[in-house]
Chains A and B, each alone.
Chain A
Amino acid sequence: MNAERPFPNVVIRASAGTGKTFQLSNRFLALAVADEPFDAILATTFTRKAAGEILDRVLLRLAEAALDDDKRAELSRFVGCELDRPRCLAILQAMLRQLHRLRVSTLDSFFIQIARSFSLELGLPPGWQIVDEIVDRRLQAEAVRAVLESQSTQDTLRLMNLLSKGEVSHGVSRQISSLVEGLYAIYAESPPEAWDALPRLKPLAPEQLRAALTDLTEAQLPGDKRFVKARDTDLERFRSEQWEDFLGGGLAKPVVNGTATYYGKPIPPDVAAIYEKLIDHAKAVLLGMIANQTKATHELLGRFDEAYGRLKTERRAMRFDDVTRRLGTAWLGGRVEEVAYRLDARLAHLLLDEFQDTSPPQWQVLRPFARQVGDGDRRRSFFCVGDVKQAIYGWRGGVAEIFEAIHRQIDGLESASLDESFRSCPEVIETVNRVFEGIAGNPIAVRYPEAVRRWAARFTKHSTARHDLAGYCRFETAPRTEEGGTQGHDTLAYAAERVARLRDEAPGCTVGVLVRRNASVARLIYELRKRGVAASEEGGNPLVDSPAVELLLSVLALADHPGDTAARFHVAHSPLAGPLGLARHDDAAAAWQLSAEIGRRVATDGYGPTLHDWTTRLAAECDARDLNRLVQLVEMGYGYEAEATSRVDDFIQLVRSQHVQDPTSADVRVMTVHQSKGLQFDVVVLPELDARLVGQPPQLVVGRADPTEPIQRVCRYVSRETRPLLPKAFVAMFEAHERRVIEESLCVLYVALTRAVHMLDIIVAPSSVREKNIPSTSAGILRATLVGDGAIEPETVLYEWGDANWAKTLTGQAAPEAAAVQQTLPLRLAASSARPTRGLDRRSPSQLEGGPRVDLALQLRLDTSGAADRGTLMHAWFEQIAWLEDGLPDDESLRRIAEKLGPRTDLDELLSQFHAALERPAIADALRRATYHQPAADDARSAVHAGPEVADPRWEVLRERRFALRDGESILTGSIDRLVILYNGPVAIGADVLDYKTDAIGPNDPAAIDEKLNHYRPQLDAYRRAVSAMYKLPPERVSARLAFVSVGVIRNV
């Protein structure tokens, strides 16, 4: 280990397949071995999956080293320190004990952690959450609606007209939505003044303009008809405001260029002078239009931003980039210490993966940390790894130049580069070398000299460690499209054909088909499935690739829209027609009924159980794949419940948009090159390289003073012809933009070519009949290198390298394909015992009052009188009384009891009510011992009166007697207000239950009392059952009585 700086600050440029993650895990392990606190190490990458892999890798390597001598020796070598077994075990154990402190995460989740600890300072709404894409899209749509609602039609029109250059397309929300989708990120990242950076020139005043035009009309021109004609055309163009045509043609053009000659003849200076005026005017107007458009874009985005921001605050919803931006702009610079405090960790070592994809806002947050660890303190370190050649996330805000600018940001960085692949066979690597080593001289690439020069500087010759791998590269053409067809589609279809064959030739191998556009992914899946190849999109397809799922969605659709006859037909012609009772699509009444039923079912049972039920009914008609998809749909239904809305449509929409991996079809994976990053396949097929290197022009172009700085200028896209009119800085900005586009195109090509382990199959379109030169496409670059000049014929192999029979040399790899036939796992349980004891229902007698059904109106009565409290207090007071003969508690203690239950104003009145109740003969009798010595009145007879027949009577009074016992299928539990037990000697022979009721009842209202009696009967019956069971008394020996204390009535139940 280096004595003065154990962990050098280093930047590693790691080419594809050279083991970036490995390097990062080396550094992590080296730090751990050096006893650096684990939580002082921050390792970040871009995807959650990659973060998980890094952590796994670190722990796995350490664990293997602990158990295996060879692995330990290897690890010792990589961390530069001799490790013995106990040491490995100790480090591993320490690390496992601190799993929760290991900071291996995505940048986003690291930022979120900071933001959570600073949410008040950052002005984030309390309880904020990161929203998923689906919710976010909904919010955006809502914001667009709000924008439209909040401004006048005229205002919207003005902006729309500015934006669409006078065209009046009919979709308004759609247009704004797509504008927002494309440009909001730029808006969010740029200050307002950036949108106003284009200087405005002053056009001629109307009278000056008139004068100039008159001058030109009357100007003396050389005696050449062509001069006159050109002048007239110029005037015409000028008057009809065709500014670009005016500036780019006629006599104006040579004046603009400064040659001032036309057909070799000089333009007279006085004429040129007039032209100059007009040119200035045209320029002013034209630039003004561009500036206005840019501003209008900003204005519209601003309005959207306002509405969107409001909604997000309201819903406590944030996006990752909101968090990043707030962190970057609001505060972080000087507060690294505070962050360390709230994060409970002083970060001393930064390990950054995929650094080329960092965006300027992200770098702004990271920079203070990076500077701090890179500040020369030898206990800290900075490590970053990336590959500018794989910088393909420009569209997502990644700015690869940050990687190149890092040396300027942090002092004393060492660099290293890795060019030995641990992934690809020699044939693939050689093809990569052939293409990129010569890129600077590639006749297609040199059409973009600046971009190519920069790119070439980044490429060093690759080598591979995998000489053991058999390999093959092929460059071939698809059939030529017939008239009326689309070559791109046919190339894809041909590729599908090829893949189908490859799958037979190289069974068990993974195949990745990489394309440029999402639409091509869909088309390829279609073509492949048509050929019986089970293909899946990266991340899976929406579940509607299963007809069974579609059927259930049609059933669900009826819930919201019983009038949807297409859905009705679908259901009526399915196996569910019978079970759901919809036999005919034109049976509207049945559809309405079904609609209501489904709505109810989904609301009460939830989506999961409902869908599961239908799935059960459908299973017999399904094949394994459909059933699998149905089960996944059921799962989605279960998971959806928490966010379910009252519209079934919302769930349907979710199913249609959510991608779900289908585990049964993983033969061939189709994805965009972007999605393939970080992945590898035995075979890679590239069928879409015929795309132009310069893509469609963007809507906006942005410029920064430095790649690491915020956006400084924004400008609507300006055509190449008009660009010379712009100020120099803007011209440079457009040039830089175009250069970046080319660089990124080359990156995409590089990433695409470097995914293959064994075989690379590149399929391009044949030369079109009109082709004069090799086109400026990725395919063109490959042609120029691998094939050379001249047209290419259809269905021809143009270049081959390696062994076409490579797959035959693989041994033991041809794993049998996973059987698509479904197995099931049976589950057998023992029979439940006849008398289970777990999970018994619990009932309390008071729940039983009023019978088993509940009248909601009574239940929801809002008590304003405090009757419930009064009842509680009365019960507490009555609880004090054992036998009336033994005396009453004094008012003082009664008041104390009341106080415990809360303050009240009506205490005196209640006290007098209590005393009044005790004065009523029936109540008083019931509480006296003496009463039980004699028989009682019939209507309130208790079971504990004892005459002479009882030899040794003794009464026990229990108050608030709790009980719990088994009552059939449930446990009956509760407490009895007053329970008197009659004993004869030691044996209980009778019991009396007295329940106090404080209900307000009018005097002399026997009907009301009868009604109450009925109401409370179930409760009292339960008490009787309980007492009879507890004291083993026959039921008739237990009396149960209600004491209506307010009217002094006691009734037997």
Chain B
Amino acid sequence: MSIRRLFLDWTRPSLAVAVDYLVERFGAAGALDLGGVIVALPGGRSSRRLLELLVERAEAGGRTLVPPRLVTVGKLPEMLYTAKRPFAGDLVQQLAWVEALRNAKPERVAALLPSLPETDDLETWLALGEMLGRLHRELAAEAMDFQSVVDCGGRIEGFREQPRWQALLDIQAGYLRTLDGLGLWDLQTARLFAIRHGECQTEDQIVLVGTADMNRAGRMMLDQVADRVTALVFAPERLADRFDEHGCLVPGAWQDAEIELATDRIEVVDGPADQAAAVVRAMAAWDGRYAGDEITVGVPDVRLVPYIAQQLRQCDVPVRYGVGRPMTESGPCRLLEAVADYLDGKRFSSFAALARHPDVQRWLEARPIRSDWLTEMDQYYVDHLPHRLGGRWLGKPEGSAALRRVHEAIEGLLSGLDAPRRPLAEWNPPLVELLVTLFGGSPLDPTVPAQRTTLKACEKIHKTLAEHQAIPAELTPTVSGGEAIQLVLRAIVGERIAPLPDRSAVELLGWLELPLDDAPALVVTGMNEGIVPASLNADLFLPNQLRRELGIEDNDRRYARDAYALAAVVASRADVTLVAGRRSPDGDPLAPSRLLFAADAETAARRAVRFFHREDATAARLVLPGVLRAGRTESRLGVPRPEPLAEPVASMRVTEFRDYLVCPYRYYLKHRLGLAGLKDEAEELDGGAFGSMAHEVLGDFGRSPVAASTDPEAIAAFLDAALEHLLGQFYGPAPLSAILVQVEQLRARLRRFAQWQADWAAQGWRIEHVETGPEPEQASLVVDGSPMFLRGRIDRIDVHESTGQRMIFDYKTSDTLKTPRQAHCAGGEWIDLQLPLYRHLVAGMGIKGPVDMGYIVLPKDTSRVGLQRADWTEDELREADAAAETVVRGVRAEVFWPPADPPPAFSEEFAAICQDGRLGSVLDDKDDNGDAE
């Protein structure tokens, strides 16, 4: 006896029709007892929906409902037999494959895998295991094994893959042996065993609802209980020959089938955002006829979900994507990832990421730690560029007090996981403890979305840990804490957390769920070739030709499935719009789906003309769906105007003048408001830090006994020692490697400096002052009758033993050499006033007499290390003073507006405030192509 097929009306929603059928067949007065019925559906969502409809129907008819067992067709087999052995979990299966692969004869495996992964590369081994498992599962679902392929290949012209499949066959045998040895089975083996031994049985009635695509194993099992099975096929009777005796699609019959569909229901638009806009347009065209819960949006391409969700939210329409967010995006998973990353090497950057994890922050908040530790951590990084934290703390203790406590706390938190390698399941207790500590502080409320997410993720993690526990000792890998976490996360990839129900929401559904959806209004996006239908045009193991020969899922079957789905979708509702894009979210060109051409030749041709003609899509993009509306024709987001200063400026650093000359507004931000960016992304010393280090060393030198030495060796030796000392002091005993190299680069420059210094001293010059400046309010520039006090530290003042002449020096360590003139003047204007203003500082220090000025440069070309004398004339210096006076007047009058235009080249930290990007960035003006003057 074979299965009973019933062809049911497809012009109404399938599930409603299915409910009618169930009521008619099983209903009685006052009762709808489906206690002895199993209803199998293609997907989870349709099961849930069917239950809703049954409840509603029972309630409306005043019947007491005993619901049926609802299963997805993939789970149906397990209701038909009793497995003789427990099932091996996913990871156990993968490990068994790995075991089989490792134990197979190398010379045979070579046909499959010319080179094996490194022995300890568990990740890659498992990935291979997973791949083999997938192949095994796919064939087994069709009641086949690798031997079937070997047999079948003989019938394919030019089939040269026997050796590979022989190897696979060996491995498969090994895999089954391994599981067997452990007293375990995999699902496929159990099903095949039940089929082979005719063990399928049930006392229930089985009703298949819209299961037009079942695998061979499933069908064979149903055959064994055929007298209890009814397949509801949603299609008119006249299409009966397109379905086989199981009510499944006959692929061949669908290839040339026409799908009734009006061309004007198809929209072909440009990119993903345009598809989303097309959804809004279609919904707007319904003009309020449907409520949110009567509308479904089909999203076969999950990448479009965010675009559609956003555009609908923008229209104040609630949306619900039942599939939900990937679990890997949940707090617990991101935490585990951050922890694993940190455990692997304990780098500062991973610490900084872990400490910023919101739940870690929250946990830290509950402890007695100053709340500004994040800023302290940034600053500590900027100052010391640590490779990792812990060990010796650098700088002043009060500068890292809070950070140290954070570090201690986190190290404590992870102490259980930071231990030697051990068998996988032994990591479970510390992992649970970590989760409980961070997330279990107070009970979680599953009706609050965020808490529900946490809960769901923890549940899944918990389940995975339980699976780890169940791995037979023979297969248990020995791993580090970080690897254990990676294995947990590996099991979670692909899991999603469904959002809480929202009854008023427009529902976003995947393609597979659409045929059984019953909303009267539908927009389907992503009607593009390769998405609907998917097709496989090359494969590592099972190319299409082989698939066809084996009778397993091939392109024809995929097409048939989707053609039927589309036909049913279109037939069953009042309003359908189909949308196809021309461009994927990655920018790849897309073609419309073949399904959109499933029409008579003439119609297909007309559609082709419409779809393949690319018009400009810009105009559509200008219309912004929804309620967001620009408030003005001219943006009010201006650059903030300077505000009056609280106190008049009484003193200025000599280096400030330059900043004012460059841009008065940025000067205001930097010096008057003291604003600064703060980041922790440096990979090595920047120019400033490199320079500071050089200055420190040279300062120490100037104060040292060898300051007057004429022996280059002695000077060099001192500089070396000072450099070494400062390196340790600034950057600790184990600095970043880049810094070590940089220090050597600096050392090379200092060596040449030693040489120069010795010569200089031999000429009679002695260092008189080092890093010195006037006392407060001792040096000033009198402008308009009142003094502007000047501040600043002069790197060094030398005096000549015999002439008494003095030189003021500034050390310059930038890579390229600039003379004082180049640094101070450009295009006939003063752009910096530092050296000229030093004259006033010196006067304020009570130093009288003629003073010369210059740079001691230490550029990358070490042959040029030495003195660069400033050669300004008295007239020029007077001009400089005048320029300084203008600056002082500007500062006093608080002239800080407008910002310089175009923006100066080094003002990145204020670029956002100054809206530098508005006109495009002209900062990067170095020759990037190497071919222009």
Contacts and interface: CB of A to CB of B under 8 A. Distances in A.
B503 A642 contact: no
B624 interface: yes
A1021 B446 CA distance: 19
A125 B428 CA distance: 29
Given A120-B113, A698-B930, A825-B626, A60 B609 contact: yes
B361 A172 contact: no
A827 B315 contact: yes
B371 A592 contact: yes
A862 B466 contact: yes
Interface stretch (B157-165, B190-198, B390-398, B800-808): B157-165
Contact of A626 (B158, B284, B637, B919): B637
Nearest to B316: A827
A60 B507 contact: no
Interface in A694-721: 695-696, 698
A520 B931 CA distance: 12
B931 A516 contact: yes
B161 A341 contact: yes
B512 to A, nearest CB: 18
Given A63-B608, A599-B358, A642-B329, A860 B828 contact: no
A902 B88 CA distance: 12
A649 interface: yes
A518 interface: yes
B933 A690 contact: yes
Nearest to A96: B597
A777 B933 CA distance: 10
Contact of A484 (B594, B627, B676, B826): B826
B645 to A, nearest CB: 14
A308 to B, nearest CB: 16
A561 B601 contact: no
Given A148-B738, A619-B628, A829-B292, A100 B636 contact: no
Contacts of B446: 852, 854
A750 to B, nearest CB: 15
A835 B78 CA distance: 37
B738 A172 contact: yes
Nearest to A330: B114
B624 A156 contact: no
Nearest to B357: A646
Contacts of B112: 120
Contacts of A114: 538
Interface stretch (A26-34, A288-296, A802-810, A836-844): A836-844
15 contacts: A89-B602, A92-B604, A127-B127, A564-B677, A592-B371, A596-B358, A618-B637, A619-B631, A632-B273, A688-B932, A822-B624, A825-B277, A856-B440, A859-B455, A962-B67
B25 interface: no
A169 B687 CA distance: 10
Given A100-B537, A121-B114, A852-B447, A903 B158 contact: no
B925 interface: yes
Nearest to A551: B637
Given A627-B624, A828-B287, A93 B601 contact: yes
B545 A829 contact: no
A149 interface: yes
A563 B378 contact: yes
Q: Identify the 6 closest CB pairs spanning chains A and B, nearest first.
A: A52-B589, A484-B827, A695-B931, A563-B375, A638-B306, A856-B440
Interface string A826-870: 111111110011111110000000001111110111111000000
A117 B539 contact: yes
A126 interface: yes
B815 interface: yes
A550 B605 contact: no
Contacts of B283: 827, 829
A545 B918 contact: yes
A133 B413 CA distance: 37
A113 B538 contact: yes
Nearest to B503: A836
B673 interface: yes
Contacts of A965: 55, 58-59, 65
A570 B640 CA distance: 8
The number of chain B residues touching the other chain, given as a range, is 35 or more
Given A518-B928, A561-B375, A585 B291 contact: no
A604 B156 CA distance: 54
A575 interface: yes
A96 B597 CA distance: 7
A862 B609 contact: no
Given A517-B932, A864-B469, 12 more contacts: A88-B605, A92-B605, A97-B597, A167-B862, A170-B685, A173-B738, A519-B924, A529-B920, A608-B309, A635-B307, A641-B306, A856-B436
Contacts of B533: 100
Contacts of B602: 67, 89
A525 B741 contact: no
Given A562-B374, A647-B353, A838 B683 contact: no
B272 to A, nearest CB: 8
A126 B374 contact: no
A488 interface: yes
A829 B746 CA distance: 70
Interface string A518-545: 1110110110011000010100011011
A467 interface: no
Nearest to B673: A569
Interface residues of A, number: 211
B257 to A, nearest CB: 11
A565 B537 contact: no
A548 B635 contact: yes
Contacts, number: 619
Nearest to B620: A663
B51 interface: yes
Nearest to A156: B741
A157 B745 CA distance: 8
Contacts of B885: none
B912 A116 contact: no
A565 B608 contact: no
A935 to B, nearest CB: 28
Given A338-B160, A516-B929, A862-B465, A608 B306 contact: yes
Interface stretch (A6-14, A201-209, A609-617): A609-617
B35 A64 contact: no
A409 interface: no
Given A49-B589, A100-B537, A692 B933 contact: yes
A628 B627 CA distance: 13
B122 to A, nearest CB: 12
A1001 interface: no
A494 to B, nearest CB: 16
B549 to A, nearest CB: 12
Nearest to B30: A1032
B612 interface: yes
B67 A341 contact: no
A627 B630 contact: yes
A612 B313 contact: yes
B931 A691 contact: yes
B306 A66 contact: no
B290 interface: yes
A249 interface: no
Contact of B902 (A100, A314, A526, A838): A526
Interface in A488-514: 488
B178 to A, nearest CB: 18
Given A100-B535, A592-B371, A52 B741 contact: no
B295 A517 contact: no
A840 B501 contact: yes
Contact of B675 (A173, A344, A565): A565
A188 interface: no
B202 interface: no
Most chain A CB within 10 A, of B128, B160, B537, B593, is at B537
B265 interface: no
Interface stretch (A191-199, A784-792, A881-889, A966-974): A966-974
Contact of A566 (B124, B306, B669): B669
